[in-house]
Copies of this chain bind each other. A is one copy, B any other.
């Protein structure tokens, strides 16, 4: 049984939860609040970020969500998620980076800052200009996702891959925080609805963060 240090609204933790569930790797959750920054956690990961996974013998500590994903891809054959030719694998990794870095910086990070950190930690009202800009940029990212889904069955090609997990993880956190307007994004919405019904995704959708409530459509399978 692996230990997964994570935070419910950390999109990178969600990506690894989805991956481990899809691969049938058993794990137990340990919550690590990003604002706590305990010495214990910095000893596990000098980058101070979730997720971190630790094996049962505590002899192996893995940090950084992409490094963790590559490790499980190399060691667990079931449900390959970085699959195909070298070029196809490069396309999967390019799209993982696009969601991990660009979508996160444009959409998820400002939403987390305005709707979670300001509420739970700073006790300030959100800045509506920042929220509007994040939601505008979300539309641009969903336009690109619509285009991808128009051209291929899954985000990076003919089978489900880490690119789908990375995209779904970011979008699910943004959707929880009310930052996703699905109007006009039928392709993305259809792809996401399929995802929401997967057994790997159900536990994430059932969780609720203290004080902060998601919009009514968030956990609905046809939302």
The one of B60, B67, B93 that contacts A97, using a Cβ cutoff of 8 Å: B67
Chain A contact-residue range equals 20 to 34
Per-position binary interface string of chain A over residues 57-78, scored 1 when its CB falls under 8 Å from any chain B CB and 0 otherwise: 0001011101110110011000
**A101 contact set on B, CB distance < 8 A:** 47
Asked if A89 contacts B66 (CB within 8 A), the reply is no
Question: Given A47-B101, A98-B46: A93 and B74 within 8 A (CB)?
Answer: no
Q: Which of A121-139 contact B (CB under 8 A)?
A: none
Partner of A70, one of B47, B60, B90, B144: B90
In the bound assembly, the distance between CA atoms of A135 and B67 in angstroms comes to 28
Most chain B CB atoms below 10 A, which of A63, A66, A101: A66
Minimum CB–CB distance for A174 against chain B, Å: 18
Q: Could you say how many copies of this chain the assembly holds?
A: 2
Is A220 on the interface with B (CB-CB < 8 A)?
A: no
Select one of B47, B66, B67, B102 contacting A47, CB under 8 A. B102
Interface string of A85-116 (1 = CB under 8 A from B): 01101100110111001100000000000000
**Chain B residue with Cβ nearest A103:** B47
Known: A47-B102, A86-B71. A94 touches B62 (CB 8 A): yes
* A-B CB proximity, top 7 nearest: A67-B93, A64-B97, A71-B90, A74-B86, A64-B94, A67-B94, A67-B90
Q: List 4 other contacts, CB 8 Å, given A64-B97, A67-B93.
A: A66-B66, A67-B97, A71-B86, A74-B86
